[in-house]
Amino acid sequence: MKVFTPVLVFQKMPTGKGRDKFSIQCLECFGKNLYIGTKEGVVEYLTVNNTSAEESLSVREVGKRQMGRSGAVSQLTAVPVLNHLLVLWDGSVTVLNMFSLELLPALKKIQNVSLFCISESAVQTDSIELIAASTKRKTVSVYKVCVDRWECVRQVALPQEPVVLAAHGTCLCVATCDRYFLHDYQSQTTLDLFPHNLGKQNIIANKCGKGEFILNGPGCLGMFVMKNGTSQHPPVQWPDGVVDAAVHFPYVLALQNQTIHIYSILDQQLKQTVPLQSAKSLVSTEESVFVVADKEIHRLSPVPLQDQIEDLVKNQRVDEALMLLDRLQDLLPKDSYKDLHKNVICTSGMIKFYREAFVEAKDLFIKGELDPREIISLYPAMPVMSEDFTPQTTAVSNAKDLWMLSRDDWPTFQQYLIFLDDFLREVRPTGQGQMCPQDIDSALFKLYLEQGEYGKLDQLVSSQNNCNLQMCVPDLEQHRRFFTLGLLYQSQGQHFNAIQTWVKIVEEQSEDPSHISVFQHIVNTLSNLEHKPIIWKFVDWVLQRDQEAGILIFTKKHTSSHVTFAPEEVLTILSSYPLALTLYLEYLVSELHSKEEKHHTMLVTSYVKWILQSIEDEYNNKTSKEEMRHKLQQILWQSPFYNVDAIYNQITPSFLHVERAILLGKSGKHKKALQVLVHEEKDQQAAESYCRRTSAGRDRKFTQGVFLSLLQIYLESCQHVITAVDLLNKNAASFDLVSVLRVLPDSWSLKLVLRFLSESLRGTVHDKRMRGLEMSLAKVETLRHKHVWMEATHEKIRVDGECVCQSCQKRLSGPEFLRRPTGELTHISCHSGESGH
């Protein structure tokens, strides 16, 4: 893996005049500006044309300053906010102008300094803090540096003489001859970290992030230490003999004499090695890392993060790519991060897909919002309907040819087909599936049809779908799935084609393998359809085949349907279908509770015609003649809306005597109705039932009159004497005794009507006793009220000079007053005035 690209920035060419003594000791970088400190005490100022380019760079020398005749420049630090360049040479710190390299006379040298660092706590103000270690004492001095002056503001005593020094704010990271420790000169606290072996390893203590240091710890461990003593990253195991280290997040670079080892801070693994001869130090900037050699300066430019991610993905190191991407999310534009993240996730899914880890693959495809067409296009004979689609997924090394797999290893290919079904069904209702709904539905259609999963196929095409008709119709016809074809037409809004297809199945008795009753499905479809013209086109066809089923089109409408039929237009079309007409009229009367005389009269007429026709033509129907007569009698008794005279005229010449009696009763001709039942129907039980039903809910006088009429009819003929006696004995309570005695023949003996007389007298006595009991109970209730009144009127009421009227609040001066039920007293005049209002 390549994470940095080395580029030569500067190289000192031999002069050819004897031995070349040029040697780079230190380097400082700021933007395009490079400052080189040499072994001969020279400070060189260079500029680089483009610090972000990866090609060879052109360097221009801007200036040079000789600090003295001898001695190396051991440290350079730029302070851009002050335009200062701090130079450590010959044991003292000198300040030069960053651009002219002129000495600043107002800032005198700081003598006896072995090393120094600056604190970034005040970089954005008009001053900074310089921390300088003394060459003679175990102390460091803190200087406040301004544009034209500096002053020592603090002396900090340390436990040991510092060898390496770094600072974050007021926290110093100090390396001595045997250990590392942290010292906060503001709070005067010291925290020991860990020891080191100066004889066997180089001391490294560099700043590497906000409040963080990188140290060369025991056992060749690169240790990350925060200024509070904790660590946010695990240590990195680097090789022995590391000379310097620098951090360019998320990587840490460890410099050996001949090689730079680059490790990831995220997983502590070695990512790249860069061979460089005679390298001695590293300088990290925001853009890159500079490597200082004896006569050369190299720049390690980080490979763009996007290229790193893509390189990891191509090598199927997707987990590593995801970790890197997630940790560096803030360094990328939002859109770039989102696209990269999706690409990595989907590539990981592809790897899992070809490893047959289908559950994980599906989750990754959904998480990465993979275009479903990418998966559909991998399968043989699976159409991608979008003409502008081009596969975009990253190729993976373990990819398989599914066409070859389907031919050579069918069981394994079956598992891939199961995955396709599962994945497409899960993304279908989501926004991911809405990217290409026609492709998804057409692929599922093809899959179910070819695999013979007809249940799933019917479920797909009977619901809302985006299947391509041009592709699906020929396939269904080829497989003779005509019922499914109708479902597909229906879901696409082509209701006429759908019903026409099903009609063809019924008429031709096609061998459609569906187990569904196609005719019943047509009826259900028409009953739920919202297109009235289509219903009219097929309703005659349905009624001709089955009137009972056809009537459901008008009586079993779906609750969501907005189509309603006027009863008149339905009655017109049903006029040629008597059974359907009868059923529809029953629907109007019984369920819709129609009160129109026409509907009730037509229903009664249809019952009469059916009964008469069944006798004449021996017409057979599921509903027997007895059941139909029962329906007729029920509506004649219960309905008040039909035309009595019209119905009576229809049934007069027929055998429907009971029905004629009911109609006579509706006209108030009860005696004539009873005569029909007794003499023509010859059904005494029916006559008696007529009396009971007619008198139900009527007063006693009406009941006695109806039963007396029946008795008189029986008495008119000697043949009905026994029937008359039975009528009297069974219904004694329904007769008026006096009226009966007046009509009974003188020839009848007392013994013949003894039971009737006994029952009648017993009833009369019972009625008299009940009236007496009721009167007694009323008297008791009256006495109770009188008792309550007497108790209320005989109660003593005390009235004295303090009693006042509750209405006018004046005193009660006399014995005349009123007492309210609540016990309050008031003047009679006041109460009268209130009552008047």
pLDDT tens per residue across span 112-125: 899 999 986 544 56
pLDDT of residue 444: 94
Q: Is the peptide bond before 250 cis (omega within 30 degrees of 0)?
A: yes
pLDDT of residue 620: 53
Handedness of CA 364, 365, 368, 369 (dihedral sign): negative
Q: Residues 6 or more apart from 621 whose CB is under 8 A from it?
A: 579, 610, 614
Q: Give dist(CA 49, CA 284) in Å, integer.
A: 19
pLDDT of residue 514: 59
Comparing CA positions, the residue from 109, 74, 112, 108 lying closest to residue 91 is 112
Instruction: Characterize the bridge pairing of strands 189-195 and 179-184.
Output: antiparallel
At residue 594, what is the residue type?
A: S
Q: Is the pLDDT of residue 543 over 60?
A: yes
Radius of gyration of the chain (CA): 56
* Alpha-carbon distances, residue 289 vs 247, 351, 639, 826 (angstroms): 8, 35, 103, 110
Comparing CA positions, the residue from 59, 20, 24, 19 lying closest to residue 42 is 24
At residue 141, what is the residue type?
A: S
CB neighbours of residue 218 within 10 Å = 12
Count Cα neighbours of 376 within 13 Å in the Cβ-side half-sphere: 28
Q: Give dist(CA 483, CA 521) in Å, integer.
A: 10
H or E segment and range at residue 74: strand 73-79
Greater model confidence, 688 or 314 = 688
pLDDT of residue 508: 82
pLDDT of residue 238: 92
Confidence of residue 622 (pLDDT cuts 50, 70, 90): very low
Q: What is residue 250's DSSP assignment?
A: T
E strand residue ranges, 3-72: 4-11, 24-30, 33-38, 42-48, 59-66
pLDDT of residue 733: 84
pLDDT of residue 393: 74
Q: Is the pLDDT of residue 343 over 50?
A: yes
Q: For residue 399, which phi and psi values (nearest 5 degrees)?
A: -65, 150
Q: Which two tokens stand for residue 776?
A: 């007694």
Mean pLDDT for the stretch of residues 442-470: 92
Q: Which two tokens stand for residue 30?
A: 């700021």
CB neighbours of residue 106 within 10 Å = 11
At residue 64, what is the residue type?
A: K
Mean pLDDT for the stretch of residues 451-477: 91
Q: Is the pLDDT of residue 45 over 90?
A: yes
Mean pLDDT for the stretch of residues 668-696: 90
Q: Is the pLDDT of residue 516 over 70?
A: no
Q: Give dist(CA 602, CA 504) in Å, integer.
A: 36
Q: Which two tokens stand for residue 96?
A: 């030069």
Q: Which residues of 658-676 are buried (b: 16+ CB within 10 A; e: fewer)?
A: bbbbbbbbbeeebbebbbb
Instruction: State the average pLDDT for the chain.
Output: 87
pLDDT of residue 121: 57
Comparing CA positions, the residue from 235, 268, 232, 226 lying closest to residue 251 is 268
Q: Give dist(CA 703, CA 684) in Å, integer.
A: 17
Report the range of poorest mean pLDDT among 57-71, 218-232, 309-323, 701-715: 309-323
Q: Which two tokens stand for residue 226?
A: 């925060």
Confidence of residue 159 (pLDDT cuts 50, 70, 90): confident
**What does 394-447 look like in DSSP terms, one character per residue?**
PP-TT---HHHHHHH-HHHHHHHHHHHHHHHHHHTTSTTGGGSHHHHHHHHHHH
Q: Does residue 76 contact residue 93 with C-beta atoms inside 8 Å?
A: no
Q: Which two tokens stand for residue 414?
A: 């079956």
Q: Give dist(CA 61, CA 48) in Å, integer.
A: 9
Confidence of residue 341 (pLDDT cuts 50, 70, 90): confident
Q: What is residue 654's DSSP assignment?
A: S
pLDDT of residue 267: 87
**What does 487-529 look like in DSSP terms, one character per residue?**
HHHHHTT-HHHHHHHHHHHHHHT------S-HHHHHHHHHHH-
CB neighbours of residue 747 within 10 Å = 7
H or E segment and range at residue 84: strand 84-89
Q: What is residue 678's DSSP assignment?
A: I
Q: Residues 6 or more apart from 184 whose CB is under 8 A from it?
A: 170, 171, 172, 190, 227
pLDDT of residue 619: 52
Handedness of CA 744, 750, 755, 758 (dihedral sign): positive
pLDDT of residue 500: 94
At residue 31, what is the residue type?
A: G
Question: 134-153, pLDDT tens digit by residue?
Answer: 877 788 999 988 888 888 98
H or E segment and range at residue 222: strand 221-226
pTM as predicted: 0.64
Report the range of poorest mean pLDDT among 25-34, 405-414, 590-599, 751-760: 751-760
Q: Helix 482-491 and helix 469-478: axis angle, to 10°?
A: 160
pLDDT of residue 56: 59
| Length of the chain (residues) | 837
Mean pLDDT for the stretch of residues 653-668: 89
Q: Is the pLDDT of residue 681 over 50?
A: yes
pLDDT of residue 513: 57
Q: Is the pLDDT of residue 55 over 60?
A: no
pLDDT of residue 745: 87
Q: Give dist(CA 640, CA 25) in Å, integer.
A: 121
Q: Which two tokens stand for residue 738?
A: 């006096």
Question: 414-441, pLDDT tens digit by residue?
Answer: 999 999 999 999 999 998 888 899 999 9
Q: Which two tokens stand for residue 780?
A: 């008791």
Q: Give dist(CA 724, CA 831) in Å, integer.
A: 69
Q: Is the pLDDT of residue 399 over 70?
A: yes
H or E segment and range at residue 703: helix 700-715
pLDDT of residue 424: 95
Q: Does residue 311 contact residue 318 with C-beta atoms inside 8 Å?
A: no
Count Cα neighbours of 481 within 13 Å in the Cβ-side half-sphere: 22
Q: Give dist(CA 22, CA 12) in Å, integer.
A: 8
The torsion defined by the Cα of 625, 627, 629 and 635, in degrees rounded to 10, comes to: -150
Mean pLDDT for the stretch of residues 165-175: 91
* Alpha-carbon distances, residue 42 vs 38, 76, 220, 390 (angstroms): 5, 11, 35, 61
Greater model confidence, 796 or 577 = 577
Q: Give dist(CA 125, CA 127) in Å, integer.
A: 6
Mean pLDDT for the stretch of residues 684-709: 89
CB neighbours of residue 650 within 10 Å = 19
Confidence of residue 443 (pLDDT cuts 50, 70, 90): very high
pLDDT of residue 617: 63
pLDDT of residue 738: 86
Question: 242-293, pLDDT tens digit by residue?
Answer: 999 999 988 999 998 789 999 998 888 898 999 988 888 999 998 899 999 9
Q: Give dist(CA 365, CA 478) in Å, integer.
A: 34
